[in-house]
Structure 1
């Protein structure tokens, strides 16, 4: 079954990382993707999202017209920074994989795991 792993954290913490920490983070993420990719647990890899200030929110407006706004819908300290699609036997296995995410291990991120709706 496929699961979405939503990587969440505080943008101010991520932005405050110095170059050495960012380089270490990149190496740890590379190792994480290598480990779980080789184990066949990554459904389609992952995608890092750009800064929330680049986001646009589209919602219904007055008279059936669409309303487009800059940024995320809500002002939140913690935002989704990326998405990884996992292939796991069950939710417990998906959670076990997510628990090894370097940002979780290093205390700078949280990960939300959700089953994907089956196609069709």
Structure 2
């Protein structure tokens, strides 16, 4: 079954970590993707997202028309930074995989795991 792993965190904590650790952080992420890719647990798809300040939000405006605004829908400290699709037998296995995400291990991210609706 397929599961979406939503990687969330405080952008300022992420930026601080990258400034402190530098390229090593990328090596940790590369090792994570190599490990779970080789195990056949990464599904096709997924993406790292740009900074929330680059977002646009579309909603129904008060006049009944569409309103487009800059930034995410809600001002939050913690934002979704990426989506990874996993192949796992069940949500427990998907959660076990998600628990090894470097950002979780380093204390700068949380990961939400959700089943992907079958088509």
Per the shorter chain, which TM-score range?
over 0.9
Counting only pairs closer than 5 Å after superposition, residues 18-97 of structure 1 correspond to structure 2 as 18-19=18-19, 21-97=21-97
- Supply the RMSD in Å over aligned alpha carbons: 1.2
Deviation at 1:3, TM superposition (A): 0.4
Residue 105 (structure 1) aligns with: 105
Distance 1:82 1:5 in 2: 8
Residue 11 (structure 1) aligns with: 11
How many residues matched? 119
3-state secondary structure, aligned to 2:17: coil
Residue ranges of structure 2 left out of the alignment (5+ in a row):
none
3-state secondary structure, aligned to 1:6: strand
Residue 116 (structure 2) aligns with: 116
TM-score by length of 2: 0.95
Q: Which runs of 4+ in 1 moved over 6 A?
A: none
3-state secondary structure, aligned to 1:62: coil
Distance 1:97 1:10 in 2: 21
Deviation at 1:35, TM superposition (A): 0.5
Distance 1:34 1:6 in 2: 19
Of residues 39-48 and 91-100 in structure 1, the stretch that sits farther from structure 2 once superposed is 39-48
Contact 2:5 2:86 in 1 (8 A): yes
